[in-house]
Chains A and B, each alone.
Chain A
Amino acid sequence: MEGIIYNAPHEIALGSKIAIYFFLTGVSAASFIISSLAYVFGMEKYKACGKLGAAVAFIVLSIAPLFLIVDLLQPLRFLHLFYMFNFKSPVTWGSILLTIYPINCLVYLYFIYTENKPMTKLFGSIGIPLAVAVHGYTGFILALAKGIALWNTPLMPIYFLISAMVSGTALLIVLSVLKERYFRNVEVINKIFPRIEVDIIYDLRKMLLIFIAIDIFILFSDVLLLFYSTPENYIVAQLLLKGPFSLMFLVGEMLFGMVIPFIIMTIPSLNKNLGVLTFASILVLIGIYFMRYVTVVAGQYVPLM
C-alpha cells in the first residue's frame, strides 16, 4: 500500500514572528514576577535586580506586540481588535491584556523610582496576575487550536509559563553580569539601576535551576504522553524525535536549552564563575527560543486532512 497520491499543499500559517512574540512575552512576564519578589513579597535584597526586572518587563513588552502587527496579512487592520470584539477568542483576551499590562508596568516603574512603597506594592500585586495572564493566554492560543495535536493539551499554558520563567531568569542573569562587568563605573546607569551583588546572581542561578528542572519534567510528561494517546499525537512525537524537527528539538531545545546549562550550573567548581553562568544563561535563552519555534511550527507541520 502506497502513501497518499494526491493532496493539496497547505501553508504553515504561524511562523517565526509568532515564535519571537511568544519568547518576548515570556521574558517580560518572568522579569516582572522576579521584580515583584522585592517589591511585593518584601525580599529586600532583590531590590537591585527588581528594578532591572521591571524595566526589562516594560521595554520587552512594548516591542513584543509589534511582531504580531507585522505578522498580520493587513497590518493596519490591527485596529479592528479594539472595536470588534469576540470575547471567546484568546486573541481578543490578548489584545486587552497587551494594552493593560504595559500601562501597569509603567505605573509600577514610576512608583518604584519615586519610592512610593504602598503604591508599588499595589501595582506590583495587580501586575502579577496580569503578567501570568499575558503569557498564559499565549498558551491558550495554542491549546485552543484543537485540530493540532501538539498544541491541544492542558499542559500547554503551564509549559509556556514555566519556560517563560526559565527564559526571564536567564535574561536577568545575563543582563546583571553584563552591567556589573562592563558598566560598573558608568554613573548614569548606576543611578538608574543600583549595584547588583554577586550573591543575588547566585540566587538567580538557583531559581533558574529549579525552573529548568520543572521545565524538563513537564516536557518529559508531554512527550511521553504524545506516544500513548491518539494517532495524531504519535505522528507528532515521531516528527519531534525523528522527523525534520529532531535537530532543533533534541539539540537546540533539550541539549542546549536544558541539559548542558543544568549540568554546568550544578558543577560546584564552575557555578561560581560569572562568565560560565552567563554562557549557560545564553544557552538557555537560545534553547527557549528553539522551544517556541518548535512548538509553533512543528505543531502545524502535520497535515490535518
Chain B
Amino acid sequence: MEKLSEEKFDRKKFLKVLGMGLSLVVLESLLKKVNAEEILSKPGTKKRYAMVIDLKKCIGCGACAIACKQENNVPIGYYRTWIKNNEKGAYPYVRDYYLPILCNHCEDAICNRNCPVSATYKTSEGLTLIDYDRCIGCRYCMVSCPYNVRFAHPYRRTVDKCTFCAHRLKKGLEPACVITCMAKARTFGDLNDKGSEIFKLISTNSVHVLKAEQNTKPHVFYIGLDQMLTEAGKTNFEYMKYYRRNVLKELSLSEKDAEGYFNILKGISNSDREYDYRLKSNT
C-alpha cells in the first residue's frame, strides 16, 4: 500500500488515463449506435437463427415462394425465395429435384462487407438485414452476393431481399415460408438452443450449404442436396436479363390492369415498416 501511495500520480499520467477513458466512452457510444438492432433479442439470450431445408421432403409446390410474396408484399416478377427445379435420369429411373433458395444470412456476409453506407447490417441473432432508409441503391451488394438473392425493389427504390421474416420473429412467430410448408421441409430455429428441432436435424443428418467454397458461412442448411442442382442452369444465360427490365411488358400487362389484378404490385406492406429496427430503436 505504501509503495502505491508513494507513486506519483502526475498530471501527464492523469491526462493519459482520462483521454483513454473518454475515447473508450466515445467509442462505446459509437459502437452502441451501430448495434442498436439488438432489440430483436431478449436481454441475456443470444440467438443464432438458421434454417434447415430437407430436400427429400420438398415436393416443389412453391407454396413457400407464394407465402413469402404475400407476407412481404414482393412485387411481380421478383422473389425473395424461389425454387429451382431440375430433373435427373431417364425413364423409368427419373426424378425431379427441387432446391428452394433464399438469403443465406451468411455469418461473413460479403454484402455486409461491401455496402458503402452500412445499410446492410448483421443483427446479433445472425440475421442480415437492410436499413431501407440508408440504402442508396448502388446495387453493389447485388453483384457481391454469391447467391443472387438480392433484387432492386422497383417501388421502394432500394435493394431488397429475404429477412427471415424478422417482423414475425419479433413477435415470436416463425417465417411465413416455414409455417406454410405442407411437407414440413423447412425448419427454422436457434442454433444455440441445444434442444431445438434444428439443432437435432443438423446434428443427426448430413447437411450441405450452398457454395461453401465462397467461405461466407451460410445459415441455410440443406439435407440431401444434389450436386447437379447447384450446377444446373448456370449455362442458361436467359435467366439473367438486362437491368431494370420491364416485368409488366414480359407478362404483357398494362400497369392499370396489373394494379387491378394484384394488390402486391405497388405499395409497401405493414411488415416493411417493422423492419427498420435500427431506426425505431434509436428514437
Contacts and interface: CB of A to CB of B under 8 A. Distances in A.
Contacts of A238: 235
Given A73-B136, A146-B144, A6 B83 contact: yes
Given A3-B236, A231-B234, A303-B240, 18 more contacts: A1-B90, A1-B228, A5-B85, A5-B86, A7-B85, A10-B239, A10-B241, A12-B240, A14-B139, A14-B143, A68-B138, A88-B113, A91-B116, A146-B110, A148-B143, A235-B234, A301-B240, A304-B146
A77 interface: yes
B241 A302 contact: no
Across the A-B interface, give the 9 residue pairs with the lowest CB-CB distance, nearest first: A73-B137, A147-B146, A4-B233, A91-B116, A13-B142, A13-B139, A8-B82, A77-B136, A84-B117
B116 A92 contact: yes
A9 interface: yes
A63 interface: no
A6 B84 contact: yes
Interface in A134-166: 141, 144-148, 151
Contact of A84 (B101, B118, B147): B118
A185 interface: no
B148 A145 contact: no
Interface of A: 1-15, 68, 71-74, 77-78, 80-81, 84-86, 88-92, 94-95, 141, 144-148, 151, 230-232, 235, 238-239, 243-244, 299-305
Contact of A303 (B116, B228, B237): B237
Given A6-B84, A145-B140, A147-B214, A74 B157 contact: yes
A3 B137 contact: no
Interface string B219-234: 0000000001001111
A91 B140 contact: yes
B233 A13 contact: no
A303 B236 contact: yes
Contact of A147 (B79, B147, B243): B147
Contact of B234 (A2, A299, A303): A303
B149 A305 contact: yes
B77 interface: yes
Interface residues of B, number: 60
B117 A5 contact: no
A144 B108 CA distance: 14
A146 B241 contact: no
Given A72-B137, A73-B139, A3 B232 contact: yes
Contacts of A72: 136-138
A80 B113 CA distance: 17
Q: Which of A5, A6, A73, A230 has the most CB of B within 10 A?
A: A73
28 contacts: A4-B85, A7-B236, A8-B82, A8-B239, A9-B238, A9-B240, A10-B151, A11-B151, A12-B242, A77-B136, A80-B134, A81-B136, A86-B113, A91-B116, A144-B114, A144-B144, A146-B214, A147-B110, A147-B144, A147-B148, A148-B143, A239-B237, A244-B237, A299-B143, A301-B237, A303-B233, A304-B145, A305-B147
B213 to A, nearest CB: 8
B152 interface: yes
B104 to A, nearest CB: 10
B87 A2 contact: yes
Contact of A8 (B79, B110, B144, B158): B79
B210 interface: yes
A141 B235 CA distance: 25
B53 interface: no
Contacts of B42: none
B115 interface: yes
B195 interface: no
A78 B113 CA distance: 19
Interface in B149-167: 149, 151-152, 157-159
A7 B84 contact: yes
A95 B157 CA distance: 21
A141 B234 CA distance: 23
Contacts of A91: 114, 116, 138, 140
B116 A10 contact: no
Nearest to A5: B85
Contact of B240 (A2, A73, A300): A300
A304 B232 CA distance: 10
B89 interface: yes
A11 B142 contact: yes
Q: Which of A10, A81, A230 has the most CB of B within 10 A?
A: A10
Nearest to B151: A11
